[in-house]
């Protein structure tokens, strides 16, 4: 079994050129990126004061140069939807994102890491020619990085209508005031722009027209990166998840993306494909955890009660369940990706939600089994499993918590109630007619 799989159901949808690219991505990740994960960590400063807005590991530039030389660059941006893109479908890229998810740094090495991917999609789809020239081009070149700034500490940001960072027009400028947190990517010294969502028209009767997204260059007067937040103790340097204050931050009117009141439209266009990317990388993480588990339970030095761990029934059950759950998750995500390819993210909303709910939880379950198989080593820094688990746990919250997606799915499914009631009534009536036709006496159910 290879480290990547193309389900037979979608094999015909993967072009010969995409097959060849998949093999190149797989080889690059397995032979270059995974071995370099430890180097990335080792090159980080140990002094907490120097881990952000200061430096970044040099290994990433080496890998980026090698990836670009092999044509493994900006694979996320589909030419089907964006003229700046590459000739890959979302389904084909999904398979590649799974492979990237096996490594800590593979996505960045191929210029395919969040939040840059979503921000580039926003600029490619909604940006003005001037915005594209100033920001999209250097992002596509991998010369700079970016952050998406939406979540607020004192608001339930899962409902984006609650977001209230103020965006006020004054003359030929917009003035921003408010505080954000969990602004991923803002700790990186290469981060040169923030895409900031805020409230520009609080009095609009349509609550979905009150929000806007503006470009704020990093270093603009009034921007203060207050701190980097940790995820179960991991600071994710140099990337970082930062709390940022905006105090009378002024940007020109031309920094507004698409137009005032278009914030919801932008974030929905951004989050759909991004959720698919996250899910496929999660599947890659689960696959790697399963490999670690299989290797551990077949280690002859790890016998218990005279048997290999793999000779115990419960362990084999963990392996079997993990295989089933990973394969089911892959099909869910690829189904959503295919729907996006044949319509758009809005048309695939329910399928995306299914994948977004199922896959991170599945990945957590598989990784947890691998941790358990490793015993105390599984929660230590000697293996990547604990870090993988911490990252996957955030995905049950990021890009909309499970509960939001489940609520949306439940409402959509419940809309079928009248259709279902009518069908059951028709079938019941037909049964009664057949009873009469064949002279069958209706019996009591007791």
Q: What is the pLDDT of residue 11?
A: 94
As assigned by CATH, the class of the 8-143 domain is mainly alpha
Distance, CA of 101 to CA of 310 (rounded, Å) = 26
Which one, of 372, 387, 288, lies nearest residue 38 by Cα? Answer: 387
Q: Whose structure tokens read 């890959």?
A: 88
Domain positions in the chain are 8-143, 147-259, 265-404
Distance, CA of 77 to CA of 4 (rounded, Å) = 21
Least confident of 32-46, 243-257, 262-276, 396-410: 262-276
CATH number for the region 147-259 comes to: 2.40.110.10
pTM for the model: 0.93
DSSP symbol at 443: P
Whether residue 3 has pLDDT greater than 90: no
Phi, psi dihedral angles at 229 (to 5 degrees): -90, 150
Least confident of 112-116, 127-131, 273-277, 280-284: 273-277
Homologous superfamily (CATH) for 265-404: Butyryl-CoA Dehydrogenase, subunit A, domain 3 (1.20.140.10)
Whether residue 346 has pLDDT greater than 90: no
Whether residue 443 has pLDDT greater than 80: no
SS3 assignment, position 180: strand
Distance, CA of 388 to CA of 104 (rounded, Å) = 9
198 and 211 Cβ atoms separated by less than 8 Å: yes
Element (H, E) at 365: helix 349-374
The length of the chain, given as a count of residues:
446
Q: What is the pLDDT of residue 2?
A: 52
Q: How confident is the model at residue 1 (pLDDT cuts 50, 70, 90)?
A: very low
In terms of pLDDT, which residue wins out, 348 or 43?
Answer: 43
Q: What single string gives the DSSP state of each residue in 78-147? A: BTTT-TTSBS--HHHHHHHHHHHTTSSSHHHHTT--TTHHHHHHHHHHH--HHHIIIIIHHHHHTS-EEE
* Cβ contacts of 430 within 8 Å, gap of 6 or more: none
Whether residue 298 has pLDDT greater than 50: yes
Which tens digit of pLDDT belongs to each residue from 389-439?
999 999 999 988 999 999 999 999 999 999 999 999 999 999 999 999 999
């Amino acid at each position: 079994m290879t480290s990547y799989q193309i389900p037979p159901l979608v094999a015909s949808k993967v072009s010969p050129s995409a097959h060849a690219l998949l093999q190149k991505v797989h080889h690059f990740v397995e032979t270059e990126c995974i071995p370099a994960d430890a180097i990335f960590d080792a090159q980080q400063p140990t002094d907490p004061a120097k881990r952000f807005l200061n430096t970044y590991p040099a290994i990433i530039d080496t890998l980026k140069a090698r990836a670009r030389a092999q044509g493994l660059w900006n694979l996320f941006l589909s030419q089907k939807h964006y003229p700046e893109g590459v000739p890959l479908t979302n389904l084909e890229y999904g398979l590649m994102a799974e492979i990237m998810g096996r490594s800590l740094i593979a996505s960045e090495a191929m210029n395919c890491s969040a939040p840059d991917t979503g921000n580039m999609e926003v600029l490619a789809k909604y940006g003005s020619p001037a915005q594209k020239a100033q920001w999209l081009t250097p992002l596509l070149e991998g010369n700079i990085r970016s952050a998406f700034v939406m979540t607020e500490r004192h608001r339930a940001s899962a409902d984006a209508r609650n977001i209230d960072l103020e965006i006020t027009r004054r003359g030929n400028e917009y003035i921003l005031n408010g505080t954000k947190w969990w602004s991923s990517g803002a700790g990186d010294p290469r981060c040169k722009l923030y895409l900031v969502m805020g409230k520009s028209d609080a009095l609009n009767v349509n609550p979905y027209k009150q929000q806007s997204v503006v470009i704020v260059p990093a270093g603009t007067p009034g921007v203060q990166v207050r701190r980097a937040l940790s995820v179960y103790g991991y600071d994710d340097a140099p990337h970082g998840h930062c709390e940022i204050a905006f105090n009378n931050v002024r940007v020109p009117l031309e920094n507004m993306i698409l137009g005032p009141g278009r914030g919801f439209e932008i974030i929905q266009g951004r989050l759909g494909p991004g959720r698919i990317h996250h899910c496929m990388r999660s599947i890659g993480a689960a696959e790697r955890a399963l490999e670690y588990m299989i290797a551990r339970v077949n280690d002859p030095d790890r016998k218990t009660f005279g048997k290999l761990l793999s000779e115990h029934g419960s362990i084999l059950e963990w392996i079997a369940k993990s295989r089933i759950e990973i394969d089911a998750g892959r099909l869910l995500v690829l189904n959503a990706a295919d729907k996006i390819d044949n319509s758009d993210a809005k048309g695939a909303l329910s399928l995306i939600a299914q994948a977004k709910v199922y896959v991170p939880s599945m990945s957590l379950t598989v990784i947890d089994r691998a941790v358990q198989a490793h015993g105390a080593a599984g929660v230590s820094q000697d293996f990547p499993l604990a870090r993988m688990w911490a990252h996957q746990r955030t995905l049950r919250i990021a890009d909309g918590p499970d509960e939001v997606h489940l609520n949306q799915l439940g409402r959509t499914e419940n809309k079928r109630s009248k259709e279902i009631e009518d069908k059951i009534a028709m079938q019941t009536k037909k049964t009664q007619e057949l009873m009469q036709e064949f002279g069958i006496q209706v019996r009591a159910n007791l």
